[in-house]
Structure 1
Amino acid sequence: MASVVTPPVGGPPPKLPPQGGPRAPGPKFPESPHLSEAGRRMRDEIVEMLPLLREHAAEGEELGALAPATLEAVDRVGAFKITIPIELGGYALGARDTAEIVKVLGQGDASAGWLVIVSSAARNALGFDPKAHDEVFAGITDWVGPIMFGATVFAPKVGDGRKVDGGYLVQGKWSFGSGSKHAAWGSVGFEYDDPAGGERRRAMGILSRDQYTIVDDWHVMGLRATNSNSVRADQEVFVPDYRVVHTNDLPRLMDGLRGEYAGLAFKHSPIGGMVATTCAFAALAVGIAEGALESFVEQAAKRPPFNLPYRTMSEMASIQIVAGKARAVVNAANAVLWRHADEIDRRALAGEDFLPWEEPSITMDLVHQIHECLRVVDGLLLALGSSAVALSNPLQRAVRDIHVLGTHGGFRLDPMAEINGRDLFGLDPFPMIAALGSPAPSAGPPKAPKPE
């Protein structure tokens, strides 16, 4: 049993650190060997622009899209190009770089962090015919914001299409097109009847900006500036063959990109790339929690309590306990996040693949940390009290943003726990992405979308 050291009776009191000002979130460790110079530069430049991001976050919510100043600033540091090949003007960053960048964005404006993650939709274009990715990336140098968004590619219900000479005629409504107001291109899912055998098949097509209409339906409680609106094509639009791939071919096509381009992003295996994306979303949750804790400490050091005789809330033991527990959760979340991000990059550099049964366990770790951070942010708002619910208070936005993040289908805690529980009990696993297969033979074509 460890002994407790106490100062001698009558001796000098223990020396305490000077008072005043918020502390760092936790202990400092050596920087990861997988953090590149480009990743470090972006991260540090975003730290410097946190005041700007926080200043314009409410404006972005009102606009339903990133505020112009935020969009320009995030684009200027290169964050929307982190997964684009170096040969095409991007950075092709790895899992650790991406997580570091997204986490810092989450401290300032979670919507900006979300859009940086989903800007990786442009990477899918690289698996298409060269003519398609030449079109998509033709304007990448001058484009401000993500160049392409994805909407309802792997959802249970997608758009409807039919095969014609030279391509497909496609129509439908596609939900959750994050970044739709900022992007030049959109990738969408559709089903069609194969003329050769009558089989119902599923594909992904790339639409140009003039082929869809943005629907004003992203009226939500949080992440409002992600402009995750639906897009629709009420009339059939022509998508040439070279801008279409079948979804069950995607894993093979994306795996074929390994080594085709320079940069760590193109060394990841398919499963490595998948868990790297989950790491990025977990990093966003950790960033939101870190920003909320910083704001909580600053506010508690200034506000008097409602019904206790302390000068400020920071003098209350209950507030100190809330802050201390929050810091422990954030530190633990960082430890899990960095462990997995570094392992993803280590395996990519070593040419080692992840095995299919490793993915659920890693994803469970990360999803669990997302929800631990969510509980922390909730607790900070409740502890600070009614002043935190004002729309001008960043804490209430952190609560709303992290709750929307936590409701995403890929990050819901209990379904992910069920997947892991099946593994623990030796039961057959579910398909990793069920939508990659063709629809069941009994599934007929979906009805034409109703005008709204």
Structure 2
Amino acid sequence: MSKEVLAGVRDLLPTFRDRADEAERLRQVPESSVKALEETGFFRMLQPKRFDGLESDPIDFFTAVKEIASADGSTGWISSVLGVHPWQVALFPDEAQQAVWGQDTATRLSSSYAPTGKAVLTEGGYTLSGKWSFSSGSAHASWVLLGGLVFNEEGNVVDFKTFLVPGDKYEIVDVWNVVGLRGTGSNDIVVKDVFIPEAFTLSMSDTGRCFGPGQEQNNSELYRMPFHSLFTTTISTPIVGMATGAYNEHVEMQQKRVRAAYLGEKASSDPFAAVRIAKAGSEIDAAWALLMNNIREEQAHVAKGEKIPLGLRLRVRRDQVLGTQRAIDAIDALFEASGGRALAEGTYLQRAWRDAHAGRVHAANDPERALKMFGDLEFGHKIDPGMY
């Protein structure tokens, strides 16, 4: 089925590109685009089969995301984050899974994982309150996954959890006025004293060790992959897709461009132009190859029933943050060499340049922390648990 989904996604790429200006104007990806993606089966790729999902290979999922982002960065971004959430819901207790998909297997979820909310232990669950920012695609979702610190009666932090909250229990606040990824609608989520049952929570300490209660029902290898490997790759992949789209447009533009300052020379005849695209193409290919190769290595350990080595998980993070940087470096080089026409509204290049730099500031793309953890392990130092 994944091949059919990929084929359907590729058929939609010209439409997504044509709607990119509309997405920026609306500050939301058009509902028609989300509906079209839904019809391809894209949002079901990482969803359990028992809820009409496909349980696709994550590589196929990331490939589809990269293709979508190569047509429009905002559409690729929300496709990636909305598309990965079914994987995490599959780790929740069965009661929560049934609540999300029992009546409608097309239910979508947005998220905001930074623990900016506060959860207080109550009988049978938690009372959750707070404000969360950057919930991409929230207008296209009817549930949200929120990060929160759990406090006991003494006011001490006892856990860090993800809370599953239905749409009638939270408010979306429209604050998304930005220069990049304008179409993602990454608005704020506000929750006020909402009771969340224990079954609608998932401890990050469990996901950190590749465990979730939902594995009892969803026992395929897909749901034994590391949370942070999949979710950080979810953030880098659209940026690699943007670089791919920028590369394609740059090459097309240079084949048509005549450089007046150089006596009418065709830009494509400039040997330096050829060198630039060779370097940019290599950076994009290297970013993608490392991202996917590392996921494949983790899958091989899972298939053998082996614990994934910490060194490999930290390598995933190393190559993920550097993959983002490689893609942005390629976009920068291509944009700078494209001439004044690349500045025009409506061109993919200027939008990719803005969108990629906007995506770069996501917490998952913070390079120093990820690189320090990898280096510390190589030197034999103790690793402080974090986003690995």
| TM-score, structure 2 normalization | 0.90
Q: 1:321 to 1:176 in 2, by over 3 A?
A: same
Query: Which residue of the partner structure matches residue 149 of structure 1?
Result: 110
CA contact (8 A) 1:158 1:190 kept: yes
For residues 129 and 330 of structure 1, what CA distance do their matches in structure 2 show? 39
Q: CA deviation at 1:366?
A: 2.6
Q: Aligned to 2:199, which of 218, 237, 242? A: 242
What's the C-alpha RMSD, in Å, of the aligned pairs?
A: 2.5
For residues 238 and 356 of structure 2, what CA distance do their matches in structure 1 show? 9
Q: Aligned to 2:16, which of 33, 39, 53? A: 53
Query: Which residue of the partner structure matches residue 222 of structure 2?
Result: 265
CA contact (8 A) 1:282 1:367 kept: yes
In structure 1, the gaps of 5 or more residues are 1-37, 435-452
Letter in 1 for 2:218: Y
Does residue 201 of the first structure (1) align with residue 158 of the second (2)? yes
Determine which structure has the larger strand proportion and give its number: 2
For residues 343 and 312 of structure 2, what CA distance do their matches in structure 1 show? 41
Query: Which residue of the partner structure matches residue 302 of structure 2?
Result: 348
Cα deviation, 1:225-277, whole Å, max 9, x if unaligned, reads 222211113x42233343234443444683454473265523x34x3x43233
Q: CA deviation at 1:135?
A: 1.2
Q: Aligned to 2:285, which of 306, 331, 335? A: 331
CA contact (8 A) 1:187 1:207 kept: yes
Query: Which residue of the partner structure matches residue 14 of structure 1?
Result: none
Structure 1 counterpart SS, 2:346: coil
For residues 341 and 164 of structure 1, what CA distance do their matches in structure 2 show? 39
Larger-Rg structure:
1
Does residue 131 of the first structure (1) align with residue 85 of the second (2)? no
Q: 1:293 to 1:212 in 2, by over 3 A?
A: same
Does residue 365 of the first structure (1) align with residue 319 of the second (2)? yes
Cα deviation, 1:21-49, whole Å, max 9, x if unaligned, reads xxxxxxxxxxxxxxxxx222222222222
Structure 1 counterpart SS, 2:88: helix
Q: CA deviation at 1:148?
A: 1.2
Query: Which residue of the partner structure matches residue 10 of structure 1?
Result: none
For residues 405 and 263 of structure 1, what CA distance do their matches in structure 2 show? 31
Does residue 64 of the first structure (1) align with residue 21 of the second (2)? no
Query: Which residue of the partner structure matches residue 187 of structure 1?
Result: 145
Identity of aligned residues (%): 26
Q: CA deviation at 1:381?
A: 0.9
In structure 2, the gaps of 5 or more residues are none
For residues 371 and 121 of structure 2, what CA distance do their matches in structure 1 show? 40
Does residue 97 of the first structure (1) align with residue 97 of the second (2)? no
Q: CA deviation at 1:413?
A: 2.5
For residues 79 and 302 of structure 2, what CA distance do their matches in structure 1 show? 22
For residues 384 and 433 of structure 1, what CA distance do their matches in structure 2 show? 37
Count of paired positions = 386
Cα deviation, 1:301-355, whole Å, max 9, x if unaligned, reads 2222241123532222232222222222223233323322332333333333311
- Using the TM superposition, name which of 179-188 and 347-356 deviates more: 347-356
Does residue 275 of the first structure (1) align with residue 233 of the second (2)? no
Query: Which residue of the partner structure matches residue 255 of structure 2?
Result: 301
- Using the TM superposition, name which of 332-341 and 95-104 deviates more: 332-341
For residues 335 and 198 of structure 1, what CA distance do their matches in structure 2 show? 46
